[in-house]
């Protein structure tokens, strides 16, 4: 375990249907770098992952997003999957939290379909971003410049395309947060 992120607190916002590895792998990588990671959700108890083509494992929810404040965290991670961000983008508390978090200037990292929530929060206009290829038109229509790269940083937004990009995605979050110390 390294201590690059010792003292840093990171929120992962997700609900049922998150892509399993897009929550569990970044969480493991950030914790290995010394960060404290908490899972926020729109429901309490546990949320169930989606593992490629079937339901996956459950993950414990630490706090409801409606009871959480961006000021309590150094970064926000948004895992993808199709179901999870689609549910989050219709939840007013989740959208408000994401919009407020982006407004703090702190790091917000989104992978796969997670930029749907960023679109709903109205924070992508003028940003260069990547995502799962099927939502590139959604990002473009919302005013973002879409590029096909494993990881993209534009200001405080970090985006990646898919599970294969998780190592680069995690490393970029760690790199940026370590510099912010």
Cα separation, 57 vs 28, in Å, equals 15
Residue from 75, 102, 111, 112 carrying the catalytic annotation: 112
Active site residue 134: no
Tell me which of 113, 127, 136, 172 is the catalytic residue.
Answer: 113
Tokens of 41: 């959700």
The Cα–Cα gap between 81 and 104 comes to 26
**CA distance to 54, 56, 83, 90, 159, per residue, from 17 (Å):** 10, 9, 5, 14, 19
Query: In angstroms, rounded to a whole number, what is the distance separating the alpha carbons of residues 8 and 2?
Result: 13
Report the alpha-carbon distance of residue 136 to residue 140 in Å, rounded.
6
Enumerate the β-bridge partners of residue 12.
Answer: 39, 77
Let me know if 19 is a catalytic residue: no
Distance CA 160, CA 110 (A): 7
Residues annotated catalytic, as ranges: 112-113
């Amino acid at each position: 375990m390294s201590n690059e992120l010792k003292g840093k607190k990171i929120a992962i916002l997700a609900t049922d249907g998150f892509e399993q590895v897009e929550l569990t792998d970044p969480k493991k990588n950030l914790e290995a770098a010394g960060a404290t990671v908490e899972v926020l959700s729109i429901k309490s108890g546990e949320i169930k992952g989606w593992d490629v083509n079937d339901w996956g494992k459950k993950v414990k929810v630490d706090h409801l997003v409606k009871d959480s404040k961006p000021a309590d965290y150094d970064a926000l991670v948004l895992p993808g999957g199709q179901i999870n961000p689609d549910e989050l983008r219709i939840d007013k508390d989740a959208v408000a939290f994401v919009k407020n978090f982006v407004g703090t200037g702190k790091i917000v990292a989104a992978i796969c379909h997670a930029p749907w929530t960023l679109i709903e929060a109205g924070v992508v206009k003028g940003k260069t971003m990547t995502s799962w290829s099927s939502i590139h038109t959604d990002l473009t229509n919302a005013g973002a410049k879409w590029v096909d790269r494993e990881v993209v940083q534009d200001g405080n937004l970090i985006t990646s395309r898919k599970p294969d990009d998780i190592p680069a995605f995690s490393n970029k979050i760690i790199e940026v947060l370590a510099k912010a110390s």
